[in-house]
Amino acid sequence: MELTAGIIAGHLQGEVKGDPDVIVKGVARIEQGKPGTACFLANPKYEKYLYTTGASAVLVNRDFVPTGKVSATLIRVDDAYAAAAALLGLFASVKKKKGWEFPHSISRKASIGRKVYIGAHSYIGKRARIGNGAQIYPQVYIGEHVKIGAGTILYPGVKVYDDCTIGDNCIIHSNAVIGSDGFGFAPSADGTYRKIPQTGNVIIEDNVEIGANTVIDRATMGSTIIRSGVKLDNLIQIAHNVEVGENTVMAAQSGIAGSTRVGAGCMIGGQAGIVGHLTVAARTQVGAQAGVIGSVKQEGSILLGMPAFDHGQFMRAYAHFKKSGKKDL
């Protein structure tokens, strides 16, 4: 795929300073830019590379003022970081696979939309519905009565159990499991545990991205729900009957226990844990390795530590921790 700087600027609603006809064939990091690539500058720490990069074009914010000579064509946009994401998406869009590969197993009672890619050794069960333009990579398992939305991508090894629903334009990375049984067991008098049937499902709304090896358990009754725009990193555990609010992001190795409700726009750091049956208010930020053991009622809270509490109080307490540690040494 080849685009001119002028075409890119038009797509990103930007303006060109330099040669609008320079050719761009791909995207690169600014410190590794070569002729034929486009880069972006959003972090001032990387400005020094702008004056040495070999890239043909660089996306910059409209208010950016160079302090040295720039040989690359500049494309001025409102938000260079967001524009870079859009440009990457533009180049990635041409890489979509087409057609059906063999062998595969598709139920005669399944419904397959138009322009769907189906990879080798994939399985699609009875009454499953696959939306237009979906990408089903090799070795994907799609159970009975599953719904996959238009434009959604399931990368190799994804497993979607019976009755689950995935919305439009979602991306689910390799070996993620959607709809496995929730961790439900009833203790018996003799010390053994009796399995509680998990009869619900998982509902994933539109524009959700789920990282590799992440697991989302089906509800005991009702639905585990991932709202639109949620972004989950790799190796995350979402337990049964959890609801994750729209546009919430969670970093790797974090987890949410059963029946907890996480509000919209929250940010959960890596290896953070949230115990079950809680409510976490919208726009809450939970730091890495923090442990949330009680409901968070105030929107926009920032929590650190285990057990997690207000970040301002945590930092003041941490100052005392450091002092006492030095005395002990």
**What residues act catalytically?**
240
Contacts with 299 (C-beta within 8 Å, 6 or more apart), sequence order: 263, 281, 282, 283, 284
Residue among 149, 287, 193, 113 at smallest CA distance from 178: 149
Contacts with 307 (C-beta within 8 Å, 6 or more apart), sequence order: 291, 292, 293, 294
Peptide bond into 103 cis (omega under 30): yes
Q: Which DSSP helix (H) or strand (E) runs through 39?
A: strand 37-41
Report the distance separating Cα 299 and Cα 262, nearest Å. 11
Report the distance separating Cα 251 and Cα 266, nearest Å. 11
Count CA within 13 A, CB hemisphere, residue 130: 31
Report the distance separating Cα 185 and Cα 194, nearest Å. 5
Residues listed for the chain: 329
Answer for the pair 143, 162: CB distance below 8 angstroms, yes or no: yes
Answer for the pair 205, 227: CB distance below 8 angstroms, yes or no: yes
